[in-house]
Amino acid sequence: MKKQLDKPFPPFTAEKIAKYLNCPFEGNGKTIIKGVSSLEKAKKGDLVFSTQRKFRKSLENTRASAAIIPTSKTFSRITVIKSENPHLSFIKVIELLHHPELPKPGIHPTASVSPSAKIGSHVSIGAFSCIGDHVEIGSRTIIFPLVTIYPGVTIGQDCIIHSHVSIRSSTEIGKGVVIHNGVTLGSDGFGYVKEKDGSYTKIPQIGKVIIKDNVEIGANTAVDRAALDSTVIHSGVKIDNLVQIGHNVKIGENSIIAGQTGISGSVNVGKNVVMGGQVGIADHIEIGDNVIIAAKSGVSGNIPPDVIIAGYPHQDIMTWKKIWASLSQLRPLIKEVKRLKKRLEKIENKEK
């Protein structure tokens, strides 16, 4: 858990917030801060932040009462709080002012909870949620209404599981995990053996899914269980909506995967990898640490650490950009070669 800051009480003034953030301020410290806003939509009483180069211009037009700005900048029309990381400081103010409405602890009388389930303290289980045999749920975890947790699942402390999530049997979930609506964890991997008559026999998928601490998984994403071992999502991984994670995949710590990306079976993704949206990774590929994969790339071979790739088939991003730049020259080139050929023929004919 993050270190708790010493929270001030309302009414919040610019001075109080600056002190809370451990940042200096300039201007009227008595300015009342009622909320946060984007630069465009801000009204009186709002706090905004700006890190933009053209931040002066963006601030000139805002109706906000105060702004968090980079330490190196100055601005005098409104009260400013100076931060080394204005965005992070702004997030801390959001967390101070906004408390997401979460269900209260307690098991809803309509929930179907197995007598063999072990439920921690201050857990919330919503209406019509189904908790299977031998499930374990850690303290303060929130299960929204209409969630299905199959038998043998373990869920750590301080998790949030939204409505219409399915967590299939034997899945293991760490602490502080957030799972958005409609996610399926632990569905069967896609594995078949072809028979002589052309039909497919299913390979039983008897492995499981392990989700480590502080992972977040976006709406309607699916993570398949392993055939024999485990599909593993390591700590701090952030997965967007509608992503497909195949069986036996491993995703390294603090990697981040944007929407609609698909990772085929047995892929091994390193740490701190960043994948754009709609990326596709073929099965059994190894992706090194710190790799960045541009949106819509199709990866069909191993990727060494610390590179940026793009395209399908994937290439080093600079190569890919050069190829696409040169493509526009292909048609003129075809014409040029025809012209050269004629000129050459002319010379050849003379020589005869």
Q: Is residue 252 at the binding interface for a copy of itself, with CB under 8 A as the rule? A: no
Q: Is residue 107 at the binding interface for a copy of itself, with CB under 8 A as the rule? A: no
Q: Is residue 5 at the binding interface for a copy of itself, with CB under 8 A as the rule? A: no
Strands 130-131 and 112-113: parallel
Q: Which is nearer to a copy of itself, 30 or 88 (CB)?
A: 88
Q: Write out the binding residues for a copy of itself, residues 256-275 only, by CB under 8 A.
A: 256, 258-260, 262, 264, 271-272
Rounded Cα–Cα distance for residues 171 and 192 (Å): 22
Q: Write out the binding residues for a copy of itself, residues 143-162 only, by CB under 8 A.
A: 144-146, 148, 150-152, 162
Minimum CB separation of residue 130 from a copy of itself in Å reads 4
Six-digit token pair at 289?
């640490």
Minimum CB separation of residue 158 from a copy of itself in Å reads 13
Q: Which is nearer to a copy of itself, 32 or 228 (CB)?
A: 228
Nearest CA among 32, 38, 36 for reference residue 16 = 32
Rounded Cα–Cα distance for residues 260 and 321 (Å): 23
Minimum CB separation of residue 211 from a copy of itself in Å reads 16
Q: Is 247 a catalytic residue?
A: yes
Q: Write out the binding residues for a copy of itself, residues 166-225 only, by CB under 8 A.
A: 166, 168-169, 178, 180-182, 184, 187-188, 190, 192-193, 195, 198-204, 206, 214, 216, 218-222, 224
Instruction: Identify the active-site residue in 108, 247, 284, 314.
Output: 247
Q: Is residue 91 at the binding interface for a copy of itself, with CB under 8 A as the rule? A: yes
Q: Is residue 84 at the binding interface for a copy of itself, with CB under 8 A as the rule? A: no
Q: Write out the binding residues for a copy of itself, residues 279-298 only, by CB under 8 A.
A: 280, 282, 295-296, 298
- Sign of the torsion formed by the C-alpha atoms of 88, 238, 124 and 111: positive
* Residues carrying an active site annotation: 247
